Amino acid sequence: MRIMAKHSKTGKSTPEPGVSRDIPGFSHEAEVSPAELNLANHFLIAMPSMLDPVFGGTVVYLCEHNANGALGIIINKPTDMSMETLFERIDMTLEIQPQFPRPVMFGGPVQIERGFVLHSPHGDYSSMMQVTDEVVLTTSKDILEDVAAGHGPKKLLVTLGCAGWSPGQLEEEIVRNGWLTVPADNAILFDVAVAERFSAAMHLLGIDPSMLTGEAGHA
Residue 12, pLDDT > 70, answer no
Which residues fall within 8 angstroms of residue 22, CB to CB, at 6 or more apart?
A: 68, 69, 164, 166
Its pTM stands at 0.81
Per-residue pLDDT, averaged over 26-36, amounts to 42
| pLDDT at res. 121 | 92
Q: What is the Cα–Cα distance from 167 to 164, expressed in whole angstroms?
A: 10
Read off the amino acid at residue 64.
Answer: E
Per-residue pLDDT, averaged over 41-68, amounts to 94
| 180: β partners | 45, 217
Assigned architecture for domain 42-114+159-211 = 3-Layer(aba) Sandwich (3.40)
Q: Is the Cα torsion angle 123, 197, 27, 90 positive or negative in sign?
A: positive
Beta pairing, strands 156-165 & 103-106: parallel
